[in-house]
């Protein structure tokens, strides 16, 4: 192992103001899963996303997906179309509800759900008498999904979209922020995300009645009675007021964080694209990615592994791109519509260290190592 310090893929990066909001929670004894920090954090996200979005802060992105699917009416034995190329948390909540995932492969332009394959699945499932109940589209690595095409398919067949923008806070399409494209949007503030509350998430919706219902469901579905009365099964999914304090501090620096991650991408691209073995995912016209993680595509699995192992020896963390859900042992019984795109990305792709706290010297260390392997 090299004596160099460990370089992480995406580590938390505090802005400096976080502790003052956390201290305030302590000083005022708001140590609860509600309180002024939670309210303020929600307001800040809402004004950042715009489009009149209502925000409910939750304890994870996964719980936001779970409640989101519930709000879209997903129940036992319903079919839910889900982008295959993603992290398992996009798909697991389908099973929490007893519903059935059908995985859809990606398009080459965005690496996100292929609208044409999605439409093919919709048509075939409707013919079988099993109209899908919802579509989960992901803005993976910060790249918006093809909302123009997919949203028109969603309207045509009257099937709502849950937009998993866990990785895409600060990304946009034609100036509209990720999180606002689907009928329901989801963000994650897990430790590795562009901003973090250590653990946390949010559900986004344009409908005030939906956000009111989510708030009720996330706080144990308590009826409006003086005693504890429940007419529905609830969840304990609300965000802590202490952690929301970290979130407010992080929202003070969100623009800087997006800029830094995009700068990382540009620097990697400028320094590595002369290598014939390495390519990058460009932004299609009108797409703006927060470049949460910079990903490279090599020309073979072997080359990908050579680079990953060389980086590891230098004490640098890198990671293969997400293993698609249709290749996961846990989903081996699930139906899927594939076109080879995500198989190929999984074989040849690698995520490089992308934290907003990395220096140019850090990035250069990664670049030198890759150049050595590829030349
Ligand atoms: C695409 C995607 N969806 C969902 C999640 C789940 O978010 P959380 O970890 O906050 O539950 C994550 C990240 O962890 C993710 O990357």
State the pLDDT at residue 5.
86
DSSP line for 128-139: TT---SEEEEE-
Angle at 42 between CA 263 and CA 150, to 5 degrees: 65
Which phi and psi (to 5°) does residue 28 adopt?
A: -100, 5
**29 CA to centre of ligand 1 in angstroms:** 30
Closest CA to 83 of 342, 332, 348: 342
Beta bridge partners of 349: 297
Q: What is the pLDDT of residues 330-353, one digit of tens each?
A: 999 999 999 999 999 999 999 999
Pairwise CA distance, residues 248 & 17, whole Å = 8
Three-state DSSP class for residue 95:
helix
Q: How far is the CA of 112 from the centre of ligand 1 (A)?
A: 15
Residue nearest to atom 7 of ligand 1 (CA): 61
Pick from 10, 61, 69, 179 the residue to mutate for probing ligand 1's pocket: most ligand atoms within 8 Å of its CB. 61
CA 78 to ligand 1 centroid distance, Å: 23
Q: Is the pLDDT of residue 78 over 70?
A: yes
- With beta carbons less than 8 A apart as the criterion, state whether 222 and 72 touch: no
- The domains located in the chain, with CATH, are 18-251 (3.40.640.10), 254-374 (3.90.1150.10)
Q: pLDDT for 192-206, tens place per residue?
A: 999 999 999 999 999
The first and second tokens of residue 230, run together, are 């429940």
Pocket mutation for ligand 1, best pick of 83, 89, 202 (most atoms within 8 Å of C-beta): 89
Looking at residue 51, what is its pLDDT? 87
Residue nearest to atom 14 of ligand 1 (CA): 190
Q: For residue 181, how far is its CA from the centre of ligand 1 (angstroms)?
A: 18
Tell me the HSE value of 259 on the side-chain side, using a 13 A CA sphere: 4
Centre of ligand 1 from the C-alpha of residue 131, in Å:
27
pLDDT of amino acid 274: 95
| Ligand 1 interacting residues, C-beta cut-off 6 A | 60-62, 86-87, 89-90, 138, 164, 166-167, 188, 190, 201
176-177 sheet: strands from edge to edge = 176-177, 172-173, 287-288
Joined together, the tokens standing for residue 269 give 């691209």
Of the pLDDT bands very low, low, confident and very high (cuts 50, 70, 90), residue 135 is very high
Pocket test for ligand 1, best of 63, 64, 84, 87 (most atoms within 8 A of CB): 87
**Position 280 pLDDT exceeds 60:** yes
Distance 176 CA to ligand 1 centre (A): 21
Mean pLDDT computed over 88-111: 98
Best mutation site among 163, 166, 178 for ligand 1 pocket (most ligand atoms within 8 Å of CB)? 166
Distance of CA 90 from the midpoint of ligand 1 (Å) = 7
Question: Could you read off the pLDDT of 246-266 as tens digits, one per residue?
Answer: 999 999 999 999 999 999 999
What pTM was estimated for this model as a whole?
Answer: 0.97
Give the ligand 1 atom nearest the CA of 140: 1
Beta bridge partner(s), residue 228: none
Question: Looking at ligand 1, which atom is closest to the CA of residue 188?
Answer: 10
DSSP string across 55-97: EEEES-HHHHHHHHHHHTT--TT-EEEEESSS-GGGTHHHHHT
Q: Does residue 30 register a pLDDT over 60?
A: yes
pLDDT of residue 256: 98
Distance 166 CA to ligand 1 centre (A): 5
Say what the pLDDT of residue 96 is. Answer: 98
Which atom of ligand 1 is nearest the CA belonging to 138?
A: 1
**Ramachandran class of 73: left when φ > 0, alpha when ψ lies in -120 to 50, beta otherwise:** left
Q: How far is CA 320 from CA 54, 291, 292, in A?
A: 35, 16, 15
Q: What is the mean pLDDT of the chain?
A: 97
- C-beta separation of 66 from 97 below 8 A: yes
Distance 228 CA to ligand 1 centre (A): 32
CB 295 within 8 A of CB 318: no
Query: Which whole-number Å values give the CA distances from 25 to 168, 196, 293, 367, in the listed order?
Result: 28, 17, 32, 43
> How much is the pLDDT for 1?
44
Q: What is the distance between the alpha carbons of residues 86 and 301, in angstroms, rounded to a whole number?
A: 19
Structure tokens at 319: 């990671």
Distance 201 CA to ligand 1 centre (A): 8
């Amino acid at each position: 192992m090299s004596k160099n310090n460990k370089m992480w893929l995406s580590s938390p990066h505090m802005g400096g103001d976080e502790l003052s909001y956390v201290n305030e929670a302590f000083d005022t004894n708001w140590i609860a899963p509600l309180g002024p920090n939670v309210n303020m954090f929600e307001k800040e996200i809402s004004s950042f996303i715009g489009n009149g979005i209502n925000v409910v802060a939750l304890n994870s992105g996964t719980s936001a997906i779970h409640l989101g699917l519930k709000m879209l009416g997903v129940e036992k034995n319903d079919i839910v179309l889900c982008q295959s190329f993603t992290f398992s948390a996009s798909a697991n909540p389908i099973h929490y509800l007893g519903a059935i995932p059908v995985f859809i492969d990606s398009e080459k332009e965005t690496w996100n759900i292929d609208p044409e394959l999605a439409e093919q699945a919709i048509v075939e499932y409707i013919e079988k008498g099993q109209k899908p109940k919802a579509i989960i589209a992901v803005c993976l690595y910060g790249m918006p999904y093809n909302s123009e095409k997919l949203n028109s398919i969603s309207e045509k067949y009257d099937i709502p979209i849950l937009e998993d923008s866990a990785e895409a806070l600060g990304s946009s399409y034609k100036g509209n922020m990720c999180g606002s494209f689907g009928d329901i949007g989801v963000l994650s503030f897990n430790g590795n995300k562009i901003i973090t509350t250590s653990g946390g998430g949010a559900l986004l919706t344009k409908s005030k009645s939906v956000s009111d219902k989510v708030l009720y469901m996330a706080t144990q579905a308590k009826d409006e009675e003086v005693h504890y009365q429940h007419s529905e099964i609830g969840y304990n999914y609300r965000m802590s007021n202490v952690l929301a304090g970290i979130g407010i501090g992080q929202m003070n620096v969100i623009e800087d964080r997006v800029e830094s991650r995009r700068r990382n991408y540009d620097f990697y691209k400028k320094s590595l694209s002369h290598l014939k073995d390495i390519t990058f995912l460009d932004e299609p016209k009108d797409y703006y990615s927060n470049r949460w993680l910079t990903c490279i595509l090599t020309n073979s699995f072997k080359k990908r592994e050579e680079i990953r192992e060389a980086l590891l020896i230098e004490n640098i963390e890198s990671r293969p791109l997400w293993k698609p859900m249709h290749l996961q042992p846990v989903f081996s019984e699930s139906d899927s519509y594939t076109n080879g795109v995500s198989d190929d990305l999984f074989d040849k792709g690698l995520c490089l260290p992308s934290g907003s706290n990395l220096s140019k010297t850090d990035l250069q260390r990664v670049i030198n190592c890759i150049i050595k392997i590829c030349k």
